[in-house]
Amino acid sequence: MTWRRWKILKDGCHVTTSTLISPECRLQTMIISIANQKGGCGKTTTAINLSTYLVLKGKRVLLIDLDPQGAATEGLGIDMWSLEKTIYDVMIEKANIPDVAATTVIQGLDLAPSNLNLSGAEMELANAMAREYILKNKLANLSYDYILIDSSPSLGLLTINSLTACDMLLIPLQCEYYALAGMSQLLKVVEMVGAKLGNNPKCKVLLTMYDARTTLSKQIADRVRAYFKDEVFRTIIPRNVKLAEAPSFGKPIHLYDPSSAGAIAYQELAEEVLNAQ
């Protein structure tokens, strides 16, 4: 293995700041899967902006776009059709993460991008050996502090791969009436992953699109907190138009409007994630 750039850790152990490191020197990487089969609940918005603020707090972060819609890829200003290799090539085991990882508008934030090609992966992997652990294996020995995975709104094989790979499952929950309806299905899959596939991630719910003007948002938030207790982040993401506008400029909220309520909330979330370790 060739080492590119070197830095010295506190304990004197040399590691590279390129993406591959020797197993003895492996940094503690926290892998966070952002998943909920309910569409449009804020998974991608959370993936982009939490990643950004973790980087701004000095962490080295890889964001994996595991959704064929490629929204995280586009939201970080990368044209998903200009890509030669994507996470699809990783999932069908024709490439490794360093082969596909791209730099982004946020220095220190790498992205394993996606496009529609990924939609074929589930079928192609149907008979693959250990098909639920492909992503987990591909994420071993990478030199990131945090790896975030933006999952698609489904509970198919790609999402199972993200659940078997992660240390934490972050579940964005939109503060609206039907938000809790799909949760039991997701939690059943999480249980199945624990019992059959041997991974029991810490689960944390994130309340999103909170509208302080409505009593409904407050009622949903209260119910969720009463039920999930400490498994709910203290930070609440407000409904904020700036968060919805930023992706169309290919920018995280930090570059689009850093003083907006959405930006401040995601900054607080990053602090909470850092303190949760």
Ligand X SMILES: Nc1ncnc2c1ncn2[C@@H]1O[C@H](COP(=O)(O)OP(=O)(O)OP(=O)(O)O)[C@@H](O)[C@H]1O
Give residues in contact with ligand X (CB under 6 A). 39-45, 67, 71, 153, 208-209, 237, 239-240, 243-244, 247, 262
Does residue 71 interact with Mg ion by CB under 5 A? Answer: yes
Hunting for tokens 């020797």 — which residue is that? Answer: 22
Q: How far is the CB of 143 from ligand X (least distance, A)?
A: 27
Does residue 38 interact with Mg ion by CB under 5 A? Answer: no
Q: Which two tokens stand for residue 181?
A: 């309806």
Rounded CA-CA distance 234/105 in Å is 29
Considering only residues 81 to 110 of the shown chain, the ones binding Mg ion according to CB under 5 A are none
Nearer to Mg ion, 19 or 44 (CB): 44
Nearer to ligand X, 6 or 177 (CB): 177
Residue 162 binds: one of Mg ion, ligand X, none (C-beta under 5 to 8 A by kind) = none
Which of 173, 191, 183, 139 lies closest to 32 in space, CA to CA?
139
DSSP 96: -
Nearer to ligand X, 21 or 232 (CB): 232
CA angle 199, 207, 146 (to 5 degrees): 45
Q: What is the dihedral of CA 60, 64, 69, 70, to 10 degrees?
A: 40
Nearer to Mg ion, 44 or 143 (CB): 44
Q: Which two tokens stand for residue 60?
A: 């080295």
Rounded CA-CA distance 151/136 in Å is 14
Does residue 44 interact with Mg ion by CB under 5 A? Answer: yes
Nearer to ligand X, 169 or 243 (CB): 243
Does residue 43 interact with Mg ion by CB under 5 A? Answer: yes
Q: How far is the CB of 211 from ligand X (least distance, A)?
A: 9
Q: How many residues does the chain have?
A: 277
Q: Which residue is nearest to Mg ion (CB)?
A: 44
